Amino acid sequence: MKLIIAIIQPDKLEEVKEELYKQEVNLITASEVLGHGRQKGVTEIYRGTKETGNLLRKIRLEIAVNENFVEPTINAIIKGAKTGDIGDGKIFVLDLPQCIRIRTGETGGVAIG
Ligand SMILES: Nc1ncnc2c1ncn2[C@@H]1O[C@H](COP(=O)(O)OP(=O)(O)OP(=O)(O)O)[C@@H](O)[C@H]1O
Ligand SMILES: [Mg+2]
């Protein structure tokens, strides 16, 4: 199992969600966060709302998937979020040792989806 964390532009959330649903990735967590990349937020301000100092509003997605969904999930995020401009975002892929569905006690790959 992997945990895919993506930081994307807020105005790309709907498109990313649509692309994820096309790949039958239906379980996601989204948070509003602040961040900047290597431009330190300076040259990217035209794309977003400046929040505090040089930190810009971003959306953080967390998606836990079985191995066969890793590539489709990454591709869907890229398809929905990419414009080619700076600040399009970044995807981090982490190993995920365990997942537990609280209601049923199911674990691992069964619990994840
Ligand atoms: N190495 C990192 N560690 C933590 N967060 C990061 C990292 N890189 C990017 N981020 C987060 O992702 C957001 C989007 O990053 P961004 O797309 O600007 O990356 P970049 O490396 O600056 O690439 P680009 O040159 O395309 O802008 C940042 O605002 C920040 O919140
Ligand atoms: Mg950047």
Tens-binned pLDDT, residue by residue, of the chain (113 aa): 999 999 999 999 999 999 999 999 999 999 999 999 998 877 665 566 655 578 999 999 999 999 999 999 999 999 999 999 999 999 999 999 999 999 999 999 999 98
Look up residue 6 and give its two tokens. 């993506």
Instruction: Give the C-alpha distances (Å, rounded to integers) separating 10 from 1, 14, 80.
Output: 27, 9, 11
The response to whether residue 87 sits with its C-beta less than 6 Å from ligand 1 reads yes
User: Residue of the nearest CA to atom 1 in ligand 1?
Assistant: 37
- Please tell me the total count of domains within the chain: 1
Residue 67, domain CATH:
3.30.70.120
How many angstroms does the Cα of residue 60 sit away from the middle of ligand 2? Answer: 15
pLDDT of 97 = 98
Q: 0.75 exceeded by the pTM?
A: yes
The response to whether residue 90 sits with its C-beta less than 6 Å from ligand 1 reads yes
- Residue 58's domain comprises 2-112
Q: How far apart are CA 98 and CA 50, in angstroms?
A: 37
